[in-house]
Amino acid sequence: MNEHQNGPAIEQPQEDAQATAPQNPQSQAEASPTIELKPISKALRRFYGVGDFGFTLMSSVETYYFVFFLTNLAMFDPAVAAVVAAIGSGVDAVLGWMYGGFINSIKPMKWGRYRSWLFVLPWIVPFLYAFEFTRISDNVMLSAFLIIFFNVTSHAAWDFPYVANLSMIAVAGKTAEERQHMASTRSMYSNASKIVFSYIVPPVALLGATLLGEANQYAVAAFATGAVFAVLYYVHFRMFKGYDKEYTADELANYKASKANDENRTTFGDLMRALFTNPPLIALMLSDIAKWIFNFTCAGIAVYYFTYVVFQPEMLATYIFLSNLLCVIGSYFAPHIAKLLKSGRNAMGVVLLLMAAVLLVARLMYTNMWVVIVLMSVAQMLYGVVYAVTPALYADTVIYAQWKTGKNAAGWISGLQLFPLKIGFVVRGVAIPALLAAAGFVSGMAVEASTVSLQEGICNGFMVVPAIICAVAAILIFAGFRLTPTKITQYQREIDERENG
C-alpha cells in the first residue's frame, strides 16, 4: 500500500479531531455488528462493473428511444409527449437522491444492508420497463398516466440496486487502491456498453417489431436489456458475498430492539450531518454537477456541429463510436493516472484542466472536421478518467463521514451521486436551447441558411462553454476536496480500531 503514503497530508485541526471523532469507541465497538475484513477478490478485480454494463445498456434504450416512442409509436401529440417526459424526469429527479437515505435508514434484509438490493429488485425491472414503452389504451390521458407510472416505478426499481451497487465500493474496498480499481473497472464496463448498444439493441428492436408489431418494438428491447441488467446484477450479488454483514432470522426478528446499536442504520439527523459536516463531499458534488453538464452538453450539441458547421451529419456516428471507444480507454488507464498523480483527487483536477485546454484548441480549429473529431474524442477519453475516479472519491467521503460522526452512511452518500446526474440532465434541457438561441438558430432551419455567426455560436456551445465548465470543476475539486490517501488510510484504521475494540 505504498501509494497511500505518497499523498501530501493535510493536517486536521486538533480541536476538530477531538470534537468530531466519536467519544466512546469501546462501547460502540461492542454494540456494532462487524464482519471480517478481507481484500477484494480476483473476481471483483476483474468483473466488478459487469452489472453496470447491463445497467447502461438498459437505460440507453430510454435515452435514445423514449421520446421517439411517445411521438411516433404511442402517437402522442408533441405537447403531450413533452409533458409525459417532463413529469417522469421531474419525479425521478426529486426521488433519486433519497434512495440512499432509505437504504441506510430502514431495516436491513438477510443478505446485508446493501448487497440484498442487488438481488431483490432487479428481477421486476424488465416487466416495469417494458410497460413504459407500451401504449395500453386508446385513451390518451390514461395511456399517458400509465406510461408515467411505469417510468417512475421502473426507475425506482433500478435506482435502489444502483445505489447499493455504488455503496459496495466503500463497503468492500478497504484501501484507496481497491476503491479506485473497482471504480475504474466499473467505468470501463459501463462505457463499453455504449459501444455494444448500437450493434445489439436496434436488431433486438427489429426482432420485436417482427414478432409483436412495430408499436411494441421498444418494449421488447426494454424487456431484453432489463433482463440482462437483472442477470448481471445477480453476478455482482454473488461476487460481493462475505463483504456486507448478513443477518440471521433472530437478528432480524429482534432488530427493532437493537437497531440503535447498528452502526449502519442512520436517522434523518445522521444523514444531514453526513452531508453538511462533510465539506469534501459538497465540493465533490458541485464538481460532479459540472462534469455531467459537460457530458450532456457536448452530446446534445454534437449533431448541430456536424449538420450546420461542417455539413456532414453522417459523420456523427463515427464521432460517437470513436469518442465512446476512447472513453473506455480512459477508464482503463484511470487507476494508473491516479497512482501517478498520487490521488484520485489530483487526477480529477488535472484531467479536467487538460479537458478544458483540448476543448479550446478544438474551438480554434473548428473548421477542420477531422481535427475536431480527434480532439473532442480525446476530451471524451479524459472524461472517461474523471468518470472512473469519481466513485472512489465519494467512497473516501463515506470514510471521512464515518470517522467524523461514527455512523456509516455509505448508502446515503453513494446515492447522492444520482443528484449531480439528475441536475446535469435538467440543466441540459435548458442550456442547449439557450446556447442555440444565442447562436441564432431557429427550429427547422435549413442547412443552406447556416452563417459564420451561427457556426461560431454552435462551436462556442460545443467547445468553449464545456471548457469553462471543466475549468470551474477543477477549481472546485482542488479548493474543496482536501482529503488525501494518507488521511483516508488513517481514518479507516481508526474506524477499524473502534469496531474491533
Q: What is the pLDDT of residues 320-374, one digit of tens each?
A: 889 989 999 999 999 999 999 999 999 999 999 999 999 999 999 999 999 999 9
First to last CA, the chain: 24
Q: What pLDDT, on the 0 to 100 scale, is given for residue 1?
A: 39
Structure-block grid coordinates of residue 197: 448498444
Mean pLDDT of the chain: 87
pLDDT-derived band at 408 (thresholds 50, 70, 90) equals confident
3-state secondary structure of 112: strand
Task: Output the 3-class SS for 206-237.
Answer: HHHHHHHCHHHHHHHHHHHHHHHHHHHHHHHH
Burial of 260 (0-12, 13-18, 19+ CB in 10 A): exposed
Residue 109 φ/ψ, nearest 5 degrees: -100, 170
pLDDT at 16: 42
What's the distance, CA 408 to chain centroid?
21
pLDDT category at 31 given cuts 50, 70, 90 is: very low
d(CA 41, CA 242): 10
pLDDT tens-digit readout, 413-448: 988 988 898 888 778 777 888 888 899 988 778 899
Calpha distance 253→258 (Å, rounded): 10
Q: Which of 135, 125, 287, 155 is nearest to 213 (CA)?
A: 135
Q: What is the DSSP letter of 5?
A: G
Residue 159 confidence (pLDDT) above 90: yes
Q: Please check the confidence at residue 407 and state whether its pLDDT lies above 70.
A: yes
pLDDT for the residue 258? 56
| Domains detected in the chain | 12-33+41-246+263-500 (1.20.1250.20)
Identity of residue 419: F
The arithmetic mean of pLDDT across residues 27-53, rounded, is: 74
The answer to whether residue 172 scores a pLDDT higher than 60 is yes
Among residues 37, 24, 491, which one has the least CA distance to residue 245? Answer: 37
**What's the half-sphere exposure (Cβ side, CA atoms, 13 Å) at 433?**
5
Out of 89-98, 221-230, 260-269, 309-318, least confident range: 260-269
| Cα(347)–Cα(327) distance, integer angstroms | 15
Write the secondary structure of 257-323 as one string of H (helix), E (strand) and C (coil). HHHHHCCCCCCHHHHHHHHHCCHHHHHHHHHHHHHHHHHHHHHHHHHHHHHHHCCCHHHHHHHHHHH
What is the model's pLDDT at position 259?
A: 56
Kindly state the average pLDDT of the residues 55-75.
88
**pLDDT at position 469:** 96
pLDDT band for position 264 (cuts 50, 70, 90): low
Q: How confident is the model at residue 246 (pLDDT cuts 50, 70, 90)?
A: very high
What percent of the chain clears pLDDT 90, i.e. is strictly above it?
A: 58
**Global pTM exceeds 0.75:** yes
Which stretch of 107-121, 253-267, 450-464, 484-498 has the lowest confidence by average pLDDT?
A: 253-267
Which residue, 471, 466, 475, 453, is CA-closest to 362? Answer: 466
Band (pLDDT 50/70/90 cuts) for residue 216 is: confident
Return the C-alpha torsion angle 461, 462, 467, 472, nearest 10: 50
Instruction: Lowest mean pLDDT of 206-220, 248-262, 404-418, name the range.
Output: 248-262
Residue 501, pLDDT score: 66
